[in-house]
């Protein structure tokens, strides 16, 4: 039987959906023809100290570049995520915490309790000298304190900088140094699938590295209870500084364009960039997309499996859901602990209605077959979502048929750290689904496809994905380097924002993201810059040069393939290969672990010394099949074409 290429809107779903087919057509048309009227209306969903009257002032033109939304508005993000709900939802669960071990008790934190916890921490931060505009690095596991910490920063106008708990000391140090953070919030240890992550020890190691002296205080959450070294007077127990604080805290009045947070993300060159998001536009966009894309209802139990260390956790665990007064589940653990039914057991235990995860998790669980899913009920589910990378139609169908029992629509949401919120996605009551396609643009979003020369392609086409106009959730700058912001996103195709993604548009106007077209690798939905892995490799004393590319990987989407040239006189060996792989892990973190490392007597370079990654990608992709020279394309511009032959031979011997 051939599989349907299109899944029409579910009538049962559409009957109760917030946004129907006609609503989408009408509102989308208005959102692009009259963006001020549209986004002015949407902004009313938030509580403002001072309502904005100037809605949009944006231009991507290099001559008069500017991105300003709601610029005369004043608000506080924590007030919108917490205080605002006290009158009507004080006893409603804001955060539902499910710990790593199913035997440990889950916790419910009501909006009233969240308010108290946020206020107390905010007061403690102020008492420790943290002021509006100061940066605070947060390096925590997936525990409620992570959300509380973000909101406490927002309350006093401090700019939070969450660092994913899987990053190694070097990566923490880079982010602390670049942001010149005054304070770090961490925990003794994290827990993932029963394994302990030495968070405090990692922070200690990071703060010994150069450039991190801005840090005056480290707050340590006691989580596993492990004995950790406390360095006085720098290190303070979180509870000890928070407990005696007053339960009320005057929120800072923030301008809409005041920074809310920094989040570092990998690009094609250099060190990770500090993506800066501001308060008003970001919160309007995160909350509205969360409500519209997930068709949020008051009684939903919403679960996004992302980590708060990534933008998905920021927008769709913390800011979007809490601004909307939703119940958001936070899960500390992993999908396969203690067994591969864990996700679905949690769905049943907490009667989750909306479930949002990554294709890589779906592919991994799919490998274990239907039974671990089928043995759970999942009747509570009504909507499924994916994010992070293209989803292959096979995984989409398994998610739809097995996880969702062919009853729940799937929203495949395309967006980026830089975009703050979802830009292309189905609205399940309004748009027919096609497995593998993120479908249509969200309100106010104007995608276009351009060829290499920057010509806009019409109709059915494949090209580079750009956005023609701004949306409120857009990043505003690269922290400390505005020029890098402009150079990275607005110079390639002048007048547009370049996403770095390739994309196809079909005859129905549906968008199909094909993946990154720059030197960024998407490993399990996480961005890794090839340059970062290369510099980690080259920092090893035996490595002369390295080049890193992505290759198709069954589970991770893309894997990391490294070519390494040793310094003269060093002999390669399997032990050294393992050593180098471990070196990358300890320099950046486990997510950057190379899957393959191939010895390269030389790298294919042009006469001007530029590495031709196109050729390296072809060799990495080739698998075990014979690689004919013509498959490598034009190699005539290489300084030494014989290099390629030896790399191909080495590849085939693996």
Residue numbers at the binding site for ligand WT7 (CB under 6 A)? 265, 311-312, 387-390, 412-417, 438, 499-501, 513, 515-516, 522, 525, 527
Cβ of residue 422: shortest distance to ligand WT7, in angstroms? 8
Is 417 labeled as ligand-binding?
yes
Q: Least distance in Å: CB of 323 to ligand WT7? A: 18
Alpha-carbon dihedral sign for residues 544, 547, 553, 556: positive
Shortest distance, position 272 Cβ to ligand WT7, whole Å:
11
3-state secondary structure of 249: coil
Residue among 621, 273, 326 nearest 481 (CA): 273
How near is the Cβ of 312 to ligand WT7 at its closest, in Å? 5
User: How many whole angstroms separate alpha carbon 551 and alpha carbon 654?
Assistant: 15
Q: CB-wise, 388 or 604, nearer to ligand WT7?
A: 388
Give the phi and the psi of residue 77 in degrees, each rounded to 5: -65, -40
In angstroms, rounded to a whole number, what is the distance separating the alpha carbons of residues 447 and 424? 9
Q: Please tell me whether 598 is known to bind a ligand.
A: no
Closest CA to 283 of 96, 30, 39: 39
- Between residues 155 and 526, which has the closer beta carbon with respect to ligand WT7? 526
State both tokens at 254.
Answer: 């923030």
Nearest approach, Cβ of 520 to ligand WT7 (angstroms)? 8
- DSSP secondary structure code for residue 294 in this structure: T
In the complex with ligand WT7, the residue whose CB is nearer, 40 or 502, is: 502
Residue 407 marked ligand-binding: no
Of 115 and 527, nearer to ligand WT7 (C-beta) is 527
In the complex with ligand WT7, the residue whose CB is nearer, 60 or 414, is 414
Cα–Cα dist 592/570, whole Å: 24
Q: Is 137 annotated to bind ligand?
A: no
Residue 631 assigned to a binding site:
no
Nearer to ligand WT7, 503 or 564 (CB): 503
Torsion of CA 601, 602, 604, 610, to 10 degrees: 150
C-beta nearest to ligand WT7: residue: 417
195 is in an annotated binding site: yes
Output 102 or 515, the one with its CB closest to ligand WT7: 515
Q: How far is the CB of 6 from ligand WT7 (least distance, A)?
A: 18
412 annotated to a ligand binding site: yes
**What letter would DSSP give residue 409?**
-
Q: Using alpha carbons, select from 564, 539, 563, 561 the residue that is nearest to residue 550.
A: 561
- Residue 180 annotated in ligand binding: no
User: What's the CA gap between 294 and 282, in Å, rounded?
Assistant: 18
Do residues 632 and 645 touch, judged by C-beta distance below 8 A? no
d(CA 536, CA 4): 46
Peptide bond into 338 cis (omega under 30): yes
Closer of 523 and 644 to ligand WT7 (Cβ): 523
The least CB distance from residue 135 to ligand WT7, in Å, is: 20
The answer on whether 413 is annotated among ligand-binding residues is yes
**Separation between Cα atoms, residue 239 and residue 649, nearest integer Å:** 59
Closest separation in Å from C-beta 134 to ligand WT7: 25
DSSP for residue 492: T
| Residue 194, annotated as binding a ligand | yes
User: Annotated binding site for CoA, which residues?
Assistant: 192-195, 312, 336, 524, 585
User: Annotated binding site for Mg(2+), which residues?
Assistant: 538, 540, 543
User: Annotated binding site, which residues?
Assistant: 192-195, 312, 336, 388-390, 412-417, 501, 516, 524, 527, 538, 540, 543, 585
């Amino acid at each position: 039987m051939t599989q349907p290429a299109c899944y029409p809107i579910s009538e049962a779903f559409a009957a109760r959906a917030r946004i129907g087919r006609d609503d989408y057509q009408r509102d989308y048309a208005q959102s692009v023809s009259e963006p001020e009227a549209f986004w002015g209306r949407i902004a009313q969903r938030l509580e403002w100290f001072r309502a904005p009257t100037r809605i949009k002032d944006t231009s991507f033109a290099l001559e008069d570049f500017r991105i300003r939304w709601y610029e005369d508005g004043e608000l506080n993000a924590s007030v919108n995520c917490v205080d605002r709900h006290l009158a009507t939802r004080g006893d409603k669960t804001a955060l539902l915490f499910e710990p790593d071990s199913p035997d440990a008790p889950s916790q419910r934190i009501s909006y009233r309790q969240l308010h108290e916890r946020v206020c107390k921490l905010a007061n403690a931060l102020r008492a420790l000298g943290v002021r509006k505009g100061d940066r605070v690095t947060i390096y925590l596991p997936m525990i409620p304190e992570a959300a509380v910490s973000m909101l406490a920063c927002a309350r006093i106008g401090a700019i939070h900088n969450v660092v994913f708990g899987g990053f190694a000391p070097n990566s923490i140090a880079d982010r602390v140094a670049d942001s010149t953070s005054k304070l770090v919030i961490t925990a003794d240890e994290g827990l993932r699938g029963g394994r302990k992550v030495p968070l405090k020890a990692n922070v200690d190691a990071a703060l010994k590295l150069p450039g991190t002296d801005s840090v005056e205080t480290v707050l340590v959450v006691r989580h596993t209870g492990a004995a950790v070294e406390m360095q006085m007077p720098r290190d303070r127990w979180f509870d000890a500084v928070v407990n005696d604080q007053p339960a009320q805290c005057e929120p800072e009045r923030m301008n809409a364009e005041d920074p809310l947070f920094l989040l570092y993300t990998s690009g094609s060159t250099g060190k990770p960039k500090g993506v800066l998001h501001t308060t008003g536009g970001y919160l309007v966009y995160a909350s509205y997309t969360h409500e519209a894309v997930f068709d949020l209802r008051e009684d939903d139990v919403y679960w996004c499996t992302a980590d708060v260390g990534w933008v998905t956790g920021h927008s769709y665990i913390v800011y979007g859901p809490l601004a909307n007064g939703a119940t958001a589940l936070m899960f500390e653990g992993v999908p396969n602990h203690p067994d591969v039914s864990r996700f679905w057991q949690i769905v049943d235990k907490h009667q989750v209605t909306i479930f949002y995860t990554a294709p890589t998790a779906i592919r991994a669980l799919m490998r274990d077959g239907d039974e671990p899913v089928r043995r759970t009920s999942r009747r509570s589910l009504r909507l499924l979502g994916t994010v992070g990378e293209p989803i292959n139609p096979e995984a989409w169908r398994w998610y739809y048929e097995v996880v969702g029992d062919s009853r729940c629509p799937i929203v495949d949401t395309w967006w980026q750290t830089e975009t703050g919120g979802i830009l292309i996605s189905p609205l399940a009551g309004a748009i027919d689904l096609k497995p593998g396609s993120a479908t249509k643009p969200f309100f106010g979003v104007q995608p276009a496809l351009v060829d290499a020369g920057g010509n806009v392609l019409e109709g059915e086409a494949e090209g580079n994905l750009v956005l023609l106009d701004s949306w409120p959730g857009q990043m505003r700058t690269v922290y400390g380097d505005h020029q890098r912001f402009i150079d990275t996103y607005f110079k390639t195709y002048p007048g547009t924002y370049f996403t770095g993604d390739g994309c196809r548009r079909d005859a129905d106007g549906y968008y199909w993201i094909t993946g990154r077209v720059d030197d960024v690798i998407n490993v399990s939905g996480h961005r890794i810059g090839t340059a970062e892995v290369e510099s980690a490799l080259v920092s090893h004393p035996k490595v002369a040069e390295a080049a890193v590319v992505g290759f198709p990987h069954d589970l991770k989407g893309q894997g990391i393939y490294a070519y390494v040239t040793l310094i003269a006189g060093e002999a390669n060996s399997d032990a050294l290969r393992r050593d180098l792989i471990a070196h990358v892990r300890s320099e950046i973190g486990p997510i950057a672990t190379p899957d393959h490392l191939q010895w390269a007597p030389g790298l294919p370079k042009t006469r001007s010394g530029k590495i031709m990654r196109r050729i390296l990608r072809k060799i990495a992709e080739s698998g075990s099949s014979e690689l004919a020279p013509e498959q490598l394309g034009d190699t005539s511009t290489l300084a030494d074409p014989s290099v390629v032959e030896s790399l191909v031979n080495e590849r085939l011997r693996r």
